[in-house]
Structure formats: C-alpha cells, structure tokens
Amino acid sequence: MTVSRIKVGGESPYDVVIGTGVLGELPGLLGAGVRTVAVVHPESLPEIARPVCGAIEAAGYEVVPLPVPDAERAKTVEVLAGLWSALGRAGVTRSDAVVGVGGGATTDLAGFAAATWLRGVKVVQVPTTLLGMVDAAVGGKTGINTPEGKNLVGSFHPPAGVLCDLATLVSVPREDYVGGLAEVIKGGFIADPRILALIEDDPEGATRPEGRHTRELIERKVQIKADVVGADLREGGLREILNYGHTLAHAIERVEEYRMRHGEAVAIGMVYAAELSRLAGRIGPDLVARTRSILTSVGLPTSYRREVWPQLRNHMRLDKKSRGAKLRFVLLDDLARVSPLVDPPEELLAAAYQEIAR
C-alpha cells in the first residue's frame, strides 16, 4: 500500500493523506487528547460511514454517528442547528473532534459545525467523492447555503487532516465522478497543464476511478489546492484563482435550485470565463476551443439555456466573490496564468453568454 502525504501549510498546517485502503491512518490524524468523535455522514450512505466508525472505535475513541440529509439538502441552518443539539447531547468538548465523511456538501457542513461548536473544535475530513477529495475537503472553507445564495454563511476552519481513501471512489456513480472532473480540469487551466495532457491522453480513462492516470490527476489537483490555500487561507489574494469558472457556476446552481451537479455548473462556467477572456482580448480562440474539447471529451456540458440570462445576471450580483458593488471574474491571460477582471461592462458579459447559450 503506497501512501502519499501532501502538506498544506499556513498557520495551522496539516496533511492530506492519499492512498487505497488507508483508513488505518485516520486515528493518527485525530491525534492525542480526543475522547469523543462525532462522525457526520449522509443518511443514505451508512455503508460508507460504517468502516470509518469502525476504524475510530478500534483505536479506542467513543464514536457518535450523526446522519444528515444527502448533498446540498444538508447545507441548511436547520440541519446545522440539529448538529449543534446532537453535539451537545453527546457531550462533545473542546478537546474532542468531528469527522466529516462523504461528498463536498457533507464535509462543508461538518467543517462549519466543528468551526462553530464551542467556538471551534478539531475536524478531520474523509471525502468519499472525487469532488470532495480534490476540492471541497481541502482548504478549510466551510459553510451552508441560504435562500439568497450558495455558501454565503460560513467560516475558514482548517482541518486537522484530510484522508482520501481512493477505494471509496469505486462506488461513486459515474455521473458524479465525471462531475468531479471539472475541478480537476480547472486546475489544469489555472496552474498545471500536465493535468490537461493526462486527460487528453486518455479521456475515457479519466472518467473512471481505475483509470491509469487517476491517482496522478488527484494528487496534482490536491497539490495545487494545497499550494494556494497554504499561502492564502482567507482568499485575500492568490486563492482567488480557485474561483475560475465559479461566478457563473454558482448562479446556475441557484437557477437550478441545486439540482445540477456542482461540477457540471463549473464546466459551463469555465467555458463562459474562457469566452469572456477571449472577448476581453486576453486569450485567443485556440484556448477556448481546447476548453470545450477537453470538457466535451469527458462528458461535461459546455452550454446553458439562453432564456435565463437575466436571472443568472441577477444572481451574480450577490456572488460572495463580489466586493462592494463590483463584480469580479477570474480570467485566463494564458494557459496557467490568470488575473481578475473587475466590474466588466454589461455588454461584454452578455456577449460572452451568447457564446455559450443554447
């Protein structure tokens, strides 16, 4: 069994542990002094939480399983309040810990519960989806949704560790796995072109957990995230590059009432950002075409409904990346080179949308 450890730096450094069959590493991430461990997991997937709970119990900890609704339905203030009550009934103290097991929505929620319980307790994330491993569980962003938008309420709360057991990816539905690839591909465009080359070498293999480049793709994307958040936890500068494609993506998710997979929305958002980059004179058509080609090759969408542009534009006004009244986009200046576009003219935004509208 080969185990990789990617260090995330900053004020509270931690390891992202990657490998197959690595649950035995979990007690080491929890560390000393912990007595009770609350395990937050999707209620429909007890079989995913069971081995995690078993590994924790075998190490001598007291385990409190806390099932929550699936996917984005978990990220509400009502569910969060229920977790607070459960943590109180379980007697979870400042020296205890929370473990989040599942996809990105579950780890977002578990992280926010840990950040706010007793003003902050230890959290270890055990992502079980591709999206969770390469993005959501790494970086310390936690939060819930409100009717006004996605992740508008949250905090920065770095985990004590992240455990990526690649064995769990085998049970991920293909559509969800492909959705997670969007964040991997994003990493290729903003920082590491080798990712794009690996996917172009074997697009079909990239869509499967057993693909010949799978582990390298995951490790490269995690390394990008680790480098960025280690240098800029609170999105004061460098971390903004991770928002590439997300301004429109979050608006699409609002229009879809979170029924569309996050990665599918990000894929469309990346094509929009590429078209916006081209129309702003920053890149040529070849890089836009490559964006479309790579996303299409793995089965991700590259266009969206024409008639909803007014709704999308309205939702973008409340995007959490905006500052004051000014909307901000992360755009490509070249492959692996990005910079912000602040307060773009309305006609430019509308023209870029026409390029992806269907």
What residues form the annotated binding site for NAD(+)? Answer: 70-75, 104-108, 128-129, 141, 150
**Cα-trace Rg, the chain:** 20
Pick from 213, 205, 35, 23: which is nearest to 128 by CA?
23
**Is residue 119 annotated as a catalytic residue, yes or no?**
yes
Residue list, annotated binding site for Zn(2+)? 183, 246, 262
The DSSP letter of residue 306 is G
In whole angstroms, give the CA distance from residue 41 to residue 217: 26
> Which residue among 41, 122, 157, 183 is the active-site one?
183
> Which residue among 122, 186, 221, 239 is the active-site one?
239
The DSSP letter of residue 304 is B
Q: C-alpha angle 278/293/337, rounded to 5°?
A: 45
**Is residue 47 annotated as a catalytic residue, yes or no?**
no
> Which residue among 250, 278, 282, 292 is the active-site one?
250
**Is residue 239 annotated as a catalytic residue, yes or no?**
yes
> Which residue among 122, 246, 278, 315 is the active-site one?
246
> Which residue among 25, 145, 221, 243 is the active-site one?
243
Inter-axis angle of helices 174-190 and 262-279, nearest 10: 30
**Is residue 250 annotated as a catalytic residue, yes or no?**
yes
> Which residue among 122, 220, 221, 235 is the active-site one?
235
Helix (H) or strand (E) holding 125: strand 122-127
In whole angstroms, give the CA distance from residue 249 to residue 226: 23
**Is residue 254 annotated as a catalytic residue, yes or no?**
no
Residue list, annotated binding site? 70-75, 104-108, 128-129, 141, 150, 183, 246, 262
**Is residue 213 annotated as a catalytic residue, yes or no?**
no
**Is residue 122 annotated as a catalytic residue, yes or no?**
no
> Which residue among 186, 221, 254, 262 is the active-site one?
262
| Burial of residue 78, with CB atoms counted within 10 A of its CB: 0-12 exposed, 13-18 middle, 19 or more buried | exposed
On the CB side of 60, how many CA atoms lie within 13 Å of its CA? 7
Cβ–Cβ under 8 Å, residues 330 and 217: no
Q: Which two tokens stand for residue 213?
A: 């480049």
Give the count of beta carbons closer than 10 Å to the beta carbon of residue 210. 9
> Which residue among 41, 157, 225, 254 is the active-site one?
225
**Is residue 321 annotated as a catalytic residue, yes or no?**
no
User: Which residues participate in catalysis according to the annotation?
Assistant: 119, 141, 183, 225, 235, 239, 243, 246, 250, 262
